[in-house]
Amino acid sequence: MSKKFNVAVLGATGAVGREMIHLLQERNFPVSALTPLASARSAGKEIEFRGEKIKIKEATTSAFSGFDIVLGAVGSGLSRELAPAIKASGAIYIDNSSAFRMHDDVPLVVPEINPDDAKKHNGIIANPNCSTIITAVAVNPINKLSPIKSMTVSTYQAVSGAGAAGPIELQEQVKALIEGNPVTANVFQYQIAENLIPHIGSFLDNDYTDEEMKMQNEGRKIMHLPDLKVNCTCVRVPVVRSHSISATVITENPVSTADVAAVIADAPGCKLYDDKANKKYPMPLITSYQDIVYVGRIRKDLTNDNGIALWCCGDQVRKGAATNAIQIAELFL
């Protein structure tokens, strides 16, 4: 009989936490007992898992005894606060926040790319940023042809990337516009309906945001490319689900579009979706609620002989967060 695991989901009532619980069931993860953990205001409420009602418990430093795996879906501050207690309990902590991603002793893992890194953990394994995961799954196959030296990236990030309140705000704004009522913005800096906001995260001294710098810093660690340079612009768009990314990849040596298409078609976690004659290319509507990164619009860069341009889309709540975390846990089955 295969081993079963006592699993806790930290942040069980948030968008990613709920998706994690759903995916544990969908992927038939061998759960012996599931414990949902959340804030004091959610403690005592119930969630359903495999046909049973399970009470949510409060996430405190004394809540982690007896778990094999803790899946984290909370902010970086709370993650840093609770991580020592999780490590002391002996559980493996798979953390979706940014708290530990760049720590030297914490693996940053996308299972299709660097699964062996997970085995080097010291109690914590970090789940990368959602856009980084989707982009890395799409472009990493190119490394088989020639090492990637740099990338110019623009992300088109869905409102659900800001949490469960994002889609609600978009829908309320659309309704207000249709009815001729005033539009209010609380989740985002500005009205997102009928708009694009070229600002996600906090601005840094180099005029990029911390969200934009994740693409370079995390990409280096995941793809084992310590000198990778990435120029990134992150944009919030009025799409409910699935992030889209435009990437121009510069390799050490020239590569052909045919070879790039072939390695992407053969790569785990990727689907080559590139048929110009039939207008087939990745879009949020066809990539939501599933776990594959769709890649298309593959073409030569017209400004650099060693450049390849492509477009990819993936569900950022699933592959960009919850699914990737479950896939990391599956490495220990």
313 catalytic residue (yes or no): no
- Output the six-digit token pair for 312: 């990819």
232 catalytic residue (yes or no): no
* Cα–Cα dist 60/57, whole Å: 9
- Output the six-digit token pair for 112: 């299709």
- Taking a C-beta distance cutoff of 8 angstroms, is the pair 130, 110 a contact? no
Residue from 121, 130, 312, 313 carrying the catalytic annotation: 130
Burial classification of residue 81, based on how many CB atoms lie within 10 Å of its CB (0-12 exposed, 13-18 middle, 19 or more buried): middle
Residue from 232, 243, 312, 313 carrying the catalytic annotation: 243
Give 61-67's long-range contacts (Cβ < 8 A, gap of 24+).
Answer: 61/85, 63/8, 63/37, 64/8, 64/88, 64/89, 64/91, 65/89, 66/6, 67/6, 67/7, 67/8, 67/35, 67/91
* Cα–Cα dist 185/168, whole Å: 11
Q: At what angle do helices 130-139 and 210-223 cross, to 10 degrees?
A: 40
- Phi/psi of residue 151, nearest 5 degrees: -145, 145
- Taking a C-beta distance cutoff of 8 angstroms, is the pair 311, 295 a contact? yes
CA distances from 29 to 19, 108, 118 (A): 14, 21, 18
* Cα–Cα dist 211/199, whole Å: 9
**β-pairing, 307-314 with 293-300?**
antiparallel
Cα dihedral 15, 64, 112, 19, rounded to 10, equals -20
- Give the catalytic positions in this structure: 130, 243
